[in-house]
Every structure is written in structure tokens, then in C-alpha cells.
Amino acid sequence: MVYAPQEDSYLLKGWVEKLAVGKVLDIGTGSGIQAIAASKKAEKVVAVDIDGEAAVHAKNVEFRKGNLFEPIKKSEKFDLIVFNPPYLPEDKYDKEADTTGGKHGWETIGKFLKQAKVHLNKNGKILLVFSSFTNEKKVLEISKEEGYKYKLLDKKHISFEDIFVYQFQVI
């Protein structure tokens, strides 16, 4: 099931439009909104999603099917990696892969941050969006453990939660 763009997608898209440069990797592309936004400024965009229905058809965008970095060669490096992950904690009403990021919500983000740094060019950046339900403190703790510095770029309150856009770079 492809995740349809919501408020988090549009908030992240604004930053992708500002920061896309060189080679961009869009992990969990879903509808392709981030890949398409990046393709307007980037030299090349690779979009990855576990769901084959997520194939993005746009100039400059190459789609690869797989989970997180599985379809990315170890030698491939990017100037910007974008991720709108599933970030909600599991509950009895929602265990869908497109929205649930694990028991606590941050587990998928943790796996992503562990794997992403080897795919960043020098001075490369990561753009990541997640919710106050994800446990912001835990995500930032994981990022420090993995050797990233971070910066909050944007925050938006939407009815019952806050949505954050963070930028990460390897220290």
C-alpha cells in the first residue's frame, strides 16, 4: 500500500525543494512526492520503496524496489538522502507498514540512521520527518550514538501531534 501524501509529506517537500542538489536518494518514496520535488534541481534521483506500486515516473528519477538501503550498492554515495519513514508506534488499531515504525515508532528510523552514513558524500545531508509520537528524544539519542550532528529545520503542530523536519550530517 503506497502512503498518500499528508501534512508531513508537504512539510518535508518544502525542504527537499530548498536543499536538493547533486545525487539524491529518496528512501521509502511512496507516492514519489519527494523524488519528484528533488528531480527539479538534482542531477540524479534514486527512489526506493518496498512496495513495487510506488514506482516513480519522472525525468531524472530511477526507481528501485527494496527495503531501506537493500537495493543501494555499498559504493553509492549521495549528496542528500530523504526519508519520510513510518514513524508511529504500533497499536492495536494500526500495524500497517506504511505508518508504523515499530513497537515504539522509532525502530525503523534507528535502522535507517545506522545504514545511511556510509551512503553520504562528504558534507552530505539527511532530511528526516517524524512525529512527536515517535519520541524525539530517542531519535536524537540514536543519531548522536551513530555519529550525526542534527538541526531542527521545521516544526508544525497538526491537531494532536507535532511534526518535525530534521537535518542530519555525519560529524
Has residue 1 been placed in a domain?
A: no
Q: Could you give the number of structural domains in the chain?
A: 1
The alpha carbon dihedral of 56, 15, 119, 21 has a sign of positive
| Predicted structure pTM score | 0.91
Domain span at 12: 7-170
Has residue 60 been placed in a domain?
A: yes
Per-residue pLDDT 10s for the chain (171 aa) are 566 788 999 999 999 999 999 999 999 998 899 999 999 999 999 999 988 776 666 678 999 999 999 999 999 999 999 999 987 667 655 555 555 556 667 889 999 999 999 999 999 999 999 999 899 999 999 999 999 999 999 999 998 899 999 999 999
How large is the greatest C-alpha to C-alpha distance in the chain, in angstroms?
A: 43
CATH of residue 85? 3.40.50.150
Has residue 114 been placed in a domain?
A: yes
**Cβ-based burial of 145 (10 A; exposed 0-12, middle 13-18, buried ≥19):** exposed
Has residue 162 been placed in a domain?
A: yes
Has residue 121 been placed in a domain?
A: yes
Strands 44-49 and 23-27: parallel
Has residue 14 been placed in a domain?
A: yes
DSSP tag of 100: B
